[in-house]
Structure 1
Amino acid sequence: MERARETGEGSSSSLRQQRNLREKERRMRMKHLFSILSSLVSPTRRLPVPQLIDQSVSYMIRLKDKVNYLEEKKRALLGGEVQNRSQGSSLQPKLSIRSRDSTIEMNLVMDVNIKRVLLHELVSVFEQEGAQVMSANLQNLNNRTFYTIIAQAIICRIGIDPSKIEERVMSIIS
């Protein structure tokens, strides 16, 4: 009978040790995950967990707003798509150029069946007009080509003339 108690007591302490070990592993895993979250949200300083969670939530809300903004922008750029499909015609090129301070952003959407425009042709327009291209992107999606170029004036005092860039890009795409 003593042996039964000993093995029973041994197995309960073994279970307790296993439970403690699992809890310790869980705490270590949570600490590691909070560390990763902290490096993403506030890489410069370590925050207490409640502040870290608050900042993470506000960061996620900002990201969600940005996604919504970009989806709206995409819908605006593709606005004529449904109408043109119903008429059976190709999508006409949509060009938008926005300028702010010494930075200019160009978005162009073209149907691949209309004309093929090379990205370097568009980049060269910006460079010839006195801009340094910071980002140039080309993406093909659903028989459309999306061009995005972000540039900055080489000499900020002189700036960039968006109307000249628009005129030259229109001559390339038409």
Structure 2
Amino acid sequence: MKRQDDQKMDRKTVEKNRRIHMKSLCFKLSSLIPKQDYVFKDSISLQHHLERAAAYIKRLKERIEKLKHRKASCAADTECGREIDGAEKSGYKLPVIEVRHQEQQNLEVLLISGLKKNFFFHEVIGVLEEEGAEVVNASFSVVGNKIFHTIHTQAISSRIGLEASRVSARLQELIK
């Protein structure tokens, strides 16, 4: 008799642990679903929660498949590479040059080019020096398929100064 009671107790304990584990798993699942897709209310049954979670997962799978298909078609299409690069979408072509006055005698030159740049950096420095600028600082960084060059210059003579429009025009000629 005692043995049967122990077995019943073991079954009850196992069932209780199973239910606790299932509640824990359902709670974890509900925490992974975004708030707009998953509204947690006590009045909604567990079955309804699971259906919403399954629908959300199905939408994610479909989106992943669409993105994989789009990626594969873009990899095969060379024109799409330019579109992903962002230059064609935003309406400008690389390389891009922007010259700004920081103060009366200081200029900041920003050059954005592709990985296959169409100009030589030393030529840009040469143009700046010919226009009466001394390079104080120059740096670059690579982000995606673009190279960003930033050059800070200072006028050699404070009386002469620097003319941003003239420097910009000469740099535009250089990259053509």
**TM-score, length-scaled by structure 2:** 0.46
Larger radius of gyration: 2
TM-score (norm 1): 0.46
